[in-house]
Amino acid sequence: MQLPSVSSKVVSALRWLLLPWWLAQVLTGEKSFWPNPILGDPGLNRRGFAVWRGRLAARMTARRRRQLESLVPAADRAAFERDGYVVKRGLLAPGAFSALTAEVAGLTAMAGEFKEGDAITRRIPLTPALLARLPACRRLLGHPAFHGLTRYVGSFDAEPLVFIQTIFTRTGGDQTDPQTSMHIDTFHPTMKAWLFLEDVGEEDGPFTYVPGSHRRTPRREAWERRLSVRASDPRTRKTGGAFRIAKPEMTRLRSAKPKRFAVPANTLVVADTYGFHARRPSARPSMRLEIWAYSRGNPFAPWARLDLSPARLWRGQAAAIGFGVMALRRRLGLPAQGFRQVARVSPGAPPAPWP
């Protein structure tokens, strides 16, 4: 009989020593099936562990949203419950919107860029220091609809992380943009918001969402259970969480027809990205400019006004800190998820060729 190597013994010992950490992660937003041996246990997931975790997170999110109902009108709450998103066309008064777009157009700042397939996404985090120079952006964050909807859908009474975001499509290469596949962001409800600063045409890769797909159903849970078992298979070691779904599977789940948000400028969309969504493939090289926000607190927190996740503790500096960490990883030769940091760039400036 062959004895296990010393290295395998060390790894096994370390995994057991980290057991308290693995257990603590069960009640956090951690979505990876690897290396946590509890989240990625095939036997547990065959018995519905991942489904149970998602179901509990959904219940806690609903509880927090009830605490924030006063932030949004009843009609918006009903639209969100039905569709999983809320749309506000003509969000800002014409003068306020013109001031916002002029402010964004005249800005140069440090940005992070991400390459996924043939698309490049540029994000400029709206940190407190930057917002001090951008009065129109500050007024947007305080707008009742933006303020209320981002908090209600996100289920936490806290400022979301907000960016000036530019998406460049069809930038070259033969790899497909993974964001064009229908997917969920993670196992629990989360919030993303887009205020489109320019008209978005059908051919420009609009945001797409399956109405009603934010709700948990028996068919949806059976699908999640199958994927959680597949993701926790030790032969694949999938990190998982952001599950993709194909058209035949959506048909079996009896999903609605996806809605494309080819909308005019000054339209706000706030959505729960636990629902199926994607960026529609662009028919031509295009640029989409927007104010983009997201919120992802601890899904198991019982109170809407108490979230101790790192992003909340660092408040407006979380994104800038994250960009700095990723830039350091690149300098050290470590994986950095197709990321690069760009000094002093305008949101609409064409991206440099990707190495």
pLDDT tens, residue by residue, 64-86: 999 999 999 999 999 999 999 99
d(CA 205, CA 192): 17
d(CA 180, CA 46): 29
Q: What fold characterizes domain 32-299?
A: Jelly Rolls (2.60.120)
Percent of the chain scored above 90 by pLDDT? Answer: 77
Please report, for the chain, the start and end positions of each structural domain, with discontinuous segments joined by +. Answer: 32-299
Q: What is the DSSP letter of 207?
A: E
The first and second tokens of residue 87, run together, are 């749309």
**18/269: higher pLDDT:** 269
Q: What pLDDT, on the 0 to 100 scale, is given for residue 3?
A: 46
Q: Where are the alpha helices (DSSP H) in the chain?
A: 6-17, 19-25, 42-46, 49-67, 74-83, 94-105, 128-131, 135-141, 144-154, 218-231, 247-252, 310-313, 318-331
Q: What pLDDT, on the 0 to 100 scale, is given for residue 238?
A: 63
pTM for this one? 0.92
pLDDT tens, residue by residue, 304-328: 987 665 555 555 666 677 777 777 7
Q: What pLDDT, on the 0 to 100 scale, is given for residue 336?
A: 63
Mean pLDDT over residues 42-71, rounded?
97
| pLDDT over 80 at 329, yes or no | no
**21/329: higher pLDDT:** 21
Q: What pLDDT, on the 0 to 100 scale, is given for residue 17?
A: 84
The first and second tokens of residue 210, run together, are 């399956």
Where is 87: in which H helix or E strand?
strand 85-88
pLDDT tens, residue by residue, 159-215: 999 999 999 999 987 889 999 999 999 999 999 999 999 999 999 999 999 999 999
**295/4: higher pLDDT:** 295
d(CA 164, CA 111): 9
d(CA 91, CA 166): 20
Beta bridge partners of 168: 120, 287
The CA-atom distances, in angstroms, between 165 and each of 76, 124, 278, 316 are 25, 6, 16, 16
